[in-house]
């Protein structure tokens, strides 16, 4: 039998191209069956962690011209437009853990990307200055990342946005902050996949 490296290499290339095309078709096909969803404030959105789920929901929304100035005589920070502070509840869904997972083992949340969409369909990132003012206020749950939780436990986080003058807040979108998820079948971050966001107007 004569070994033909050129033919073997061509077969590998064809197989690779076919595999990538098939995966891309599955990725797009699954995503196209989904749709965008608008959630009410108290509706929970689940995020898959390593071996369980965290459930997030919007508890309150507050517009303020200034933030901070509550501790140590510091002056309040004024927004360029209008601060919007969104407070979210984070719950460790104990129904999603395996029987082998210790009930006292804590879970640290993965990073998330949090953005505000205005009614003019402009995207607003969270405000670093606003978050610093929230942290300086000394209020519980003033950070972007929840504390480690045990199954069944809940906590709060708060996110500050500096909404430009003339813009009206509409939706809050939170997604996993992992670029690899763009290529994962079933991930909300994948190409063409529908997104779910909370109403904050």
Contact residues for 36 (Cβ-Cβ < 8 A; gap 6+): 194, 195, 196, 197
Question: Which residues, including other chains, have CB under 8 Å from residue 201's CB and lie 6 or more apart?
Answer: 119, 168, 169, 170
Q: How far is CA 17 from the centre of its chain?
A: 33
172 near 86, Cβ under 8 Å?
A: yes
pLDDT-derived band of residue 99, with 50, 70 and 90 as boundaries?
confident
Tokens of 69: 């100035």
Token pair 């995966």: residue:
23
Strand partners, 125: 115
Does the pLDDT of residue 144 top 90, yes or no?
A: no
Q: Fold for 34-199, please state it.
A: Immunoglobulin-like (2.60.40)
Predicted pLDDT of residue 188: 78
In degrees and rounded to multiples of 5, residue 95 shows phi and psi of -80, -5
Model confidence at 94: pLDDT above 60? yes
Residue pair 198/171 in contact (Cβ under 8 Å)? The answer is yes
End-to-end CA distance of the chain: 73
Confidence of residue 32 (pLDDT cuts 50, 70, 90): low
pLDDT tens digits along 45-89: 998 887 778 999 999 999 999 988 755 556 788 999 999 999 999
- Give the model's pLDDT for residue 168: 96
pLDDT tens per residue across span 100-120: 888 888 989 988 899 999 999
Does residue 6 carry a pLDDT above 80? no
Q: DSSP class of residue 149?
A: B
Q: What is the pLDDT of residue 27?
A: 56
């Amino acid at each position: 039998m004569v070994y033909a490296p050129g033919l073997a290499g061509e077969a590998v290339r064809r197989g690779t191209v076919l595999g990538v095309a098939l995966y891309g078709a599955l990725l797009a096909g699954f995503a196209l069956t989904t749709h965008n969803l608008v959630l009410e404030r108290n509706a929970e959105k689940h995020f898959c962690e390593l071996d369980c789920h965290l459930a997030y929901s919007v508890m309150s929304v507050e517009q303020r011209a200034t933030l901070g100035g509550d501790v140590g005589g510091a002056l309040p920070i004024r927004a360029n437009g209008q601060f919007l502070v969104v407070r979210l509840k984070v719950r460790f869904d104990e129904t999603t853990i395996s029987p082998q997972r210790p009930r006292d083992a804590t879970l640290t949340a993965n990073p998330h990307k949090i953005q505000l969409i205005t009614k003019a369909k402009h995207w607003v990132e969270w405000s670093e200055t606003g978050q610093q003012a929230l942290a300086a206020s000394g209020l519980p749950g003033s950070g972007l990342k929840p504390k480690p939780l045990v199954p069944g436990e809940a906590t709060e986080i708060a996110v500050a946005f500096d909404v430009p003058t003339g813009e009206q807040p509409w939706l809050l979108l939170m997604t996993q902050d992992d670029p690899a998820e763009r290529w994962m079948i079933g991930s909300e971050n994948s190409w063409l996949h529908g997104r779910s966001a909370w109403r904050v107007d």
